[in-house]
């Protein structure tokens, strides 16, 4: 009966419940936007609609079947040149994007069709004016580089820990008949964060770890949703069963039952 040492929501003053509601309400909004962001930044990677495990594999370990240049030529840039020239560039890519062939006649295609936008005066787009610039876009896609992963890792480790700490400090005032369920809901996110982030790196080495990325992300989301929904419900709508109410007062003899 450990729960009796934690006050239930119904024992907290309205102002404290408002504070909790505001905090977890805004965090839920943040979570929603994070989901939209994940979807937007990954869903198109494998060329099929929807977000799949294959998209995650490509994000972290790269696409073994194509380069950025090929992806662009088959996707958003396909309208920039006649199909016949498009096919020639892709064939050239598949032959290893050799400089000799570029110096031959492919250079003219890039100069005619691409460099009005992709030039060194435009800092937002990769320059395709020289072989070197094109070569960078023609390099095999190896997924997110380690430095990016390290940067995103530390942001996630700090940020998510704060988020789940806040949510669980609120949720701790909920009453669940089974103490183990409450413990599980609180522990899952912290374990998942570690598994999630380690799997980003492991996916680079062994692609099936993308499933761990997806699984731990799903567990985190489910636990977040459960904690927020149970907290909000019990804060404003739930009445503790009488026998449980009793336990709370037995544990706190100094409080006067109304």
Which CB, 80 or 157, lies closer to ligand HEC?
80
Q: Does 78 bind ligand HEC (CB under 6 A)?
A: no
Backbone angles phi, psi at 180, to 5 degrees: -65, -30
Is residue 77 part of the contact set for ligand HEC (CB under 6 A)? yes
**Do 236 and 228 touch, CB atoms closer than 8 A?**
no
Give the C-alpha separation, 152 to 155, whole Å. 5
User: By the 8 A CB rule, do 193 and 157 touch?
Assistant: yes
Pick the closest to residue 69 from 57, 80, 53 (CA basis).
Answer: 80
**Min CB(213)–ligand HEC separation in Å:** 22
82 binds ligand HEC (CB under 6 A): no
Interatomic CA distance for residues 23 and 27, integer angstroms: 6
Determine, following the binding rule CB under 6 A, whether residue 118 of this chain makes contact with ligand HEC.
Answer: yes
Shortest distance, CB of residue 53 to ligand HEC, whole angstroms?
Answer: 22
126 versus 221: smaller Cβ distance to ligand HEC: 126
C-alpha–C-alpha distance, residues 16 and 164, integer Å: 18
Binding of ligand HEC by 81 (CB under 6 A): yes
Minimum distance, C-beta of residue 60 to ligand HEC, in the bound complex (Å): 17
Indicate whether 45 belongs to the interface with ligand HEC (CB under 6 A).
Answer: no
68 binds ligand HEC (CB under 6 A): yes
Closer CB to ligand HEC, residue 141 or residue 196? 141
Say whether residue 11 binds ligand HEC (CB under 6 A): no
| Residue matched to tokens 């003899």 | 253
Task: Please name which of 232, 225, 195 lies closest in space to residue 211, comparing C-alpha atoms.
Answer: 195
Q: Which of 6, 107, 126, 172 binds ligand HEC (CB under 6 A)?
A: 126
Q: Which stretch in 13-21, 30-38, 113-121, 184-192 sits in contact with ligand HEC by CB under 6 A?
A: 113-121
Q: Give min distance, CB of 193 to ligand HEC, in A.
A: 29
Phi, psi of 65 (to 5 degrees): -100, -10
Residue 173 token pair: 């005032």
- Name the residue nearer to ligand HEC (CB basis): 16 or 119: 119
125 binds ligand HEC per the rule CB under 6 A = yes
CA–CA distance from 9 to each of 211, 226, 246 (Å)?
Answer: 37, 16, 15
Single out the residue of 137, 160, 193, 230 in contact with ligand HEC (rule: CB under 6 A): 137
Question: Nearest-CA neighbor of 216 among 238, 236, 200?
Answer: 200
Query: Could you give the CA distance from residue 134 to residue 136 in angstroms, rounded to a whole number?
Result: 5
Binding region for ligand HEC (CB under 6 A): 68-69, 72-73, 76-77, 80-81, 113-114, 116-118, 125-126, 128, 137
């Amino acid at each position: 009966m450990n729960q009796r040492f934690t006050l239930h929501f119904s024992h907290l003053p309205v102002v404290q419940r408002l504070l909790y509601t505001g905090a977890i309400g805004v965090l839920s909004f943040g979570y929603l936007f994070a989901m939209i962001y994940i979807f937007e930044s990954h869903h198109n990677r494998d060329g099929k609609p929807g977000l799949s495990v294959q998209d995650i594999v490509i994000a972290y370990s790269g696409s073994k079947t194509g380069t950025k240049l090929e992806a662009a030529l088959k996707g958003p840039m396909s309208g920039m040149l006649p199909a016949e020239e498009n096919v020639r560039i892709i064939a050239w890519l598949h032959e290893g994007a050799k400089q000799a062939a570029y110096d031959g006649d492919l250079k003219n295609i890039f100069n005619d069709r691409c460099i009005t936008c992709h030039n060194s005066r435009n800092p937002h787009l990769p320059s395709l004016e020289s072989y070197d610039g094109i070569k960078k876009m023609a390099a095999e896609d190896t997924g997110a580089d380690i430095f990016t992963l390290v940067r995103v890792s530390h942001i996630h480790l700090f940020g998510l820990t704060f988020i789940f700490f806040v949510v669980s400090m609120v949720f701790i005032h909920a009453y669940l008949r089974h103490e183990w369920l409450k413990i599980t809901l609180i522990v899952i996110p912290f374990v998942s964060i570690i598994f999630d982030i380690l799997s980003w790196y492991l996916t680079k080495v062994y692609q099936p770890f993308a499933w761990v990325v997806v699984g731990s992300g799903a567990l985190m989301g489910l636990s977040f949703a459960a904690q927020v929904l149970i907290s909000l419900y019990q804060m404003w709508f739930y009445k503790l069963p009488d026998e449980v109410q009793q336990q709370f007062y037995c544990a706190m003899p100094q409080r006067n039952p109304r």
